[in-house]
A = this chain, B = another copy of it.
Amino acid sequence: MTDTTPSRPLGRLVVIGVGLIGGSCALALKAAGGVREVVGVGRTRRNLDDALARGIVDRAYALDEAWTAELRDADVVLVATPVGEIAPMLRRLAGHLGPATVVTDAGSTKEDVVAAARSALGSRIDRFVPAHPIAGTEHSGAAAAFSTLFRDRTTVLTPVPETALEATATVRSVWERCGAQVIELDPAGHDRTFAAVSHLPHVLAFGLVAQLAARPDAETLFAHAASGFRDFTRIAGSSPEMWRDIALANRGALGVALAEYRAMLDELARAIASGDGATLDRVFTQASAARRRWQQGAALPKPVDR
């Protein structure tokens, strides 16, 4: 499927949402000679000015300016907005695409994006390539972008049956030029996987910290929390808005993962209440062995959760 990867650089890339992800993608492509010009579209003039000043984009439009005229001759349009804004953005750009323009996104969930793209793009769904670059830092905005963000990280593409092979190849080429390893999953498989290893852990960490913070003895609790607690709850410091949107966008798969986890907690609660050391031993031993195996196998460059 990668035999058709085009090696020629893109002419025009339009990045909608010139933040950490969109901005870093533009910088990486430029550094690799992979694009002739980048057009940025965003909510705030201030962030766009940062992007212009840093050479991330060559032209910049606020959302209330005439940016849609830039789409017809674009090779690729990257929608790098928060997950909750992808669907309205796809509706907005749908009538302005050129016949060869490929549209892609950078959202952390994929089934909802595919549904939104089907609805907004109609028969043009063949030129939409759903994508999820697995990278990020705790910073945001064009000022935080850097060209090596995606190096040795994974980008997941989730093409659907209608997706044109050469559209997928174009988007694969974009991310490979950014230094990413590109893999393909079906959208449901993607959402199930990331529900389990990313979205669920975030919900669990948010829930624990919120619940402890609401206790009357919260001050005492936090005063005695140590490094195990620090690592376990690091992801609870993430953006509430971003994770609310992801939880809602992936509510189907996340709900299933959460239900399975609650069943496990029911079993552990029963074992603790009844003094059933054998069950605790079995579960803890399975976990410890799996965690150690994974840590040893994962001594490769590790992506950062979005």
A228 cross-chain contacts in B, Cβ below 8 A: 198, 201-202, 234-235, 304-305
Interface residues of A (CB under 8 A from B): 134, 154, 156, 189, 192-194, 196-198, 200-215, 217-218, 220-222, 224-241, 243-245, 247-248, 251, 254-255, 258-262, 264-266, 268-269, 272-273, 275, 277, 280-281, 283-288, 290-292, 294-295, 297-298, 302-305
A229 cross-chain contacts in B, Cβ below 8 A: 197-198, 201, 305
Contact assessment for B294 and A264 in the assembled complex, using a CB-CB cutoff below 8 Å: no
**Known interface pairs A205-B232, A272-B258, A275-B251; A222-B302 also in contact (CB < 8 Å):** no
- Give 22 A-B contacts (CB < 8 Å), ordered by A residue: A154-B224, A196-B212, A197-B222, A198-B228, A201-B229, A204-B208, A204-B265, A206-B268, A206-B288, A207-B268, A209-B287, A211-B261, A213-B286, A214-B286, A222-B298, A225-B294, A226-B305, A232-B232, A247-B280, A248-B277, A258-B272, A261-B265
A108 to B301, CA, bound (A): 36
Contact assessment for A207 and B280 in the assembled complex, using a CB-CB cutoff below 8 Å: no
A208 cross-chain contacts in B, Cβ below 8 A: 200-201, 204, 261, 264, 287
A192 cross-chain contacts in B, Cβ below 8 A: 217
A255 cross-chain contacts in B, Cβ below 8 A: 269, 272-273
A203 to B227, CA, bound (A): 16
A187 to B94, CA, bound (A): 65
Q: Which of B203, B204, B265, B272 contacts A251 (CB 8 A)?
A: B272
A192 to B261, CA, bound (A): 24
A210 cross-chain contacts in B, Cβ below 8 A: 264, 283-284, 286-287, 290
Most central of A156, A232, A259, A275 by chain B CB within 10 Å: A232
| A224 closest partner in B (C-beta) | B193
A239 cross-chain contacts in B, Cβ below 8 A: 288
A265 cross-chain contacts in B, Cβ below 8 A: 204, 207, 258, 261-262, 265
A217 cross-chain contacts in B, Cβ below 8 A: 192-193
**Known interface pairs A294-B222, A305-B228; A240-B207 also in contact (CB < 8 Å):** no
A224 to B200, CA, bound (A): 14
A189 cross-chain contacts in B, Cβ below 8 A: 220
Q: Which of B154, B275, B287, B297 contacts A248 (CB 8 A)?
A: B275
Q: Which of B234, B244, B281 contacts A277 (CB 8 A)?
A: B244
A156 cross-chain contacts in B, Cβ below 8 A: 224
Contact assessment for A264 and B211 in the assembled complex, using a CB-CB cutoff below 8 Å: yes
A207 cross-chain contacts in B, Cβ below 8 A: 261, 264-265, 268, 283, 287
A200 to B51, CA, bound (A): 45
Q: Which of B258, B272, B281, B285 contacts A268 (CB 8 A)?
A: B258
Q: How far is the CB of A151 from chain B (nearest CB, A)?
A: 15
